[in-house]
Structure 1
């Protein structure tokens, strides 16, 4: 690290609402879309989009996925700030997005940027935690490795149990959900690959 520049990510997701607000407005303007058009494309109300762009709303994971899928852009293009060429991510600096009353947490580690088709996350599910995900873009894949606990994933109507040390790959352009039915915390790495 030189010149006093902090590449550890101290500003990384420091104010998630403002980051989402800035990114959504920038993306919408780059795509030359009105709020009405974005609402039509994403099935998110114009009022909610206006609040998000003003930094007055804390959108849920599902809402951000709806926006990303509707605009056909990677999820992390909405929630992350651009990263330098070399970027050390410290776990303590990442603010998770939370669902299921805090039982499901998602930590965005490496976003998709500069045309990269891959995003990397860490997920945590506490006992009895669950999350039903939106379908992602066409031919999008998820690759998950569990490194602590047991994760159950439902894809369409079939369930898979993944134990620590095991991995799964599936098409995420269909309904899918994550469950922790064990008595301990489950931690996993998730890679999302956008094929188009």
Structure 2
């Protein structure tokens, strides 16, 4: 996912760098290998591991896909216990729109399920363009307030308040607020287990 203001909070940059470096070295991958698998440049990987940059959601998704983990695994302070209650202090705001919108990651589950729970707030006129995720990724978006214009591949639909859209996340997709009021969406993302190599030919 890429977009204006599409940056992780500075406070988590060092944590993300440490997590990426640990996951990479545990697999005995070189920087070049991670760059190839994720489609993220080697220079950017170096900057991330050093904690010198705030990676975009799109970059985090690509790296998480390569490792076969959720984005939450990269940004949460610790692996959650069997029962964990998260509050606002635990949430990660990973995107901020030009008019004040935001994307907040409430949490994620790794192994054996791969699930993330997000809240998206889009102010009028804001848009978030997302690349394709790992093959088999699915998303479900429930609109709490306002309306969401959702484009998935060549299909564009309007999702109104109280409606829920279910769609593939492994094709390019866009979230947009074409209305005159704030749009608030709760989103569940499910991913297939296993590492994803973007160099491999898709089937």
TM over 0.5: yes
Q: C-alpha displacement at 1:150, in angstroms?
A: 0.5
Q: Give matches, 1:91-130, under 5 Å.
A: 91=88, 93-101=90-98, 103-130=100-127
Structure 2: gaps of 5 or more residues: 1-8, 194-203
Matched, 1:70 2:78: no
Between the two structures, name the one with larger relative contact order (CA 8 Å, sep ≥ 6). 2
Equivalent position of 2:139 in the other structure: 142
Equivalent position of 1:43 in the other structure: 39
* 161-170 vs 60-69, greater mean Cα deviation: 60-69
Q: What TM-score results when the alignment is normalised by the length of structure 1?
A: 0.85
Equivalent position of 1:133 in the other structure: 130
* 65-74 vs 183-192, greater mean Cα deviation: 65-74
Count the aligned residue pairs. 184
Equivalent position of 1:3 in the other structure: none
Distance of 2:89 and 2:68 partners within structure 1: 31
Distance of 2:155 and 2:59 partners within structure 1: 25
Matched, 1:56 2:60: no
- Superposed CA RMSD: 1.9
Q: C-alpha displacement at 1:76, in angstroms?
A: 2.3
- Asked if 2 retains the 8 angstrom alpha-carbon contact of 1:61 and 1:99, the reply is no
Q: C-alpha displacement at 1:104, in angstroms?
A: 4.1
Q: Give matches, 1:70-89, under 5 Å.
A: 70-81=66-77, 82-89=79-86
Q: C-alpha displacement at 1:101, in angstroms?
A: 2.7
Q: Give matches, 1:163-174, under 5 Å.
A: 163-174=160-171
Q: Give matches, 1:9-28, under 5 Å.
A: 15-28=11-24
Q: C-alpha displacement at 1:99, in angstroms?
A: 4.3
Which deviations, in whole Å up to 9, do the C-alpha atoms of 1:1-46 show, x marking residues without a partner? xxxxxxxxxxxx8921122111111111121111111111122121
